Amino acid sequence: MKRHYLIASHGHLASGLQHSLQILTGRGEEFMVIDAYVDDSDYTATLTDFVKQLASDEQGLIFTDLLGGSVNQKVVQTLMDSPKDNVFLISNTNLATILSLAYAKPDEELTLEDIHQVIAESQVTAVDLALTNNDEVDFFD
């Protein structure tokens, strides 16, 4: 199934994620970006056009940086004003989530359950780098 992607954020986070996607996958150009509030431009038309251009046999995934933030609120309003049901909004996004969803079920329709599973697997993780005494075992003993 054909998918279209849009990343929208405050500042240059969206274009930074797009750049990382390009480095890691070579697919960065597949992701439209909105870097909101870096100038005085209004991004409403970009959002509306993204949703309007989706055919009924395609899916749209919109990634935003902050649930409840102004960018996310504008996306929510745009989607509520649209009759389309083939667009998903993923907020509080991270690179792992975007990568996973970009490669998930490439020939099949994504479901909300699929998206929830990817989100659960892509959570932020704290890495504990502290060693305990048990970790300092000499390899040659």
- The tens place of each residue's pLDDT in the chain, 141 residues long, gives 899 999 999 999 999 999 999 999 999 999 999 999 999 999 999 999 999 999 999 999 999 999 999 999 999 999 999 999 999 999 999 999 999 999 999 999 999 999 999 999 998 888 899 876 665 666 676
SS (H, E, C) 100-117: HHHHCCCCCCCCHHHHHH
What pLDDT is attached to residue 133?
Answer: 62
Tracing tokens 């020939």 back to the chain, one arrives at 107
What pLDDT is attached to residue 136?
Answer: 60
Residue 106 backbone zone (phi > 0: left; psi -120 to 50: alpha; other: beta)? alpha
What pLDDT is attached to residue 123?
Answer: 87
Residue 55: exposure state from Cβ atoms within 10 A (0-12, 13-18, ≥19): exposed
Kindly report the backbone phi and psi dihedral angles of residue 61, in degrees, each rounded to the nearest multiple of 5, phi listed first: -120, 120
- d(Cα 61, Cα 89) in Å, to the nearest integer? 6
What pLDDT is attached to residue 1?
Answer: 87
Contact 6, 34 (CB under 8 A): yes
What pLDDT is attached to residue 124?
Answer: 87
- Nearest 10 degrees: Cα torsion 109, 80, 43, 64: -50
Provide the whole-model pTM.
0.89
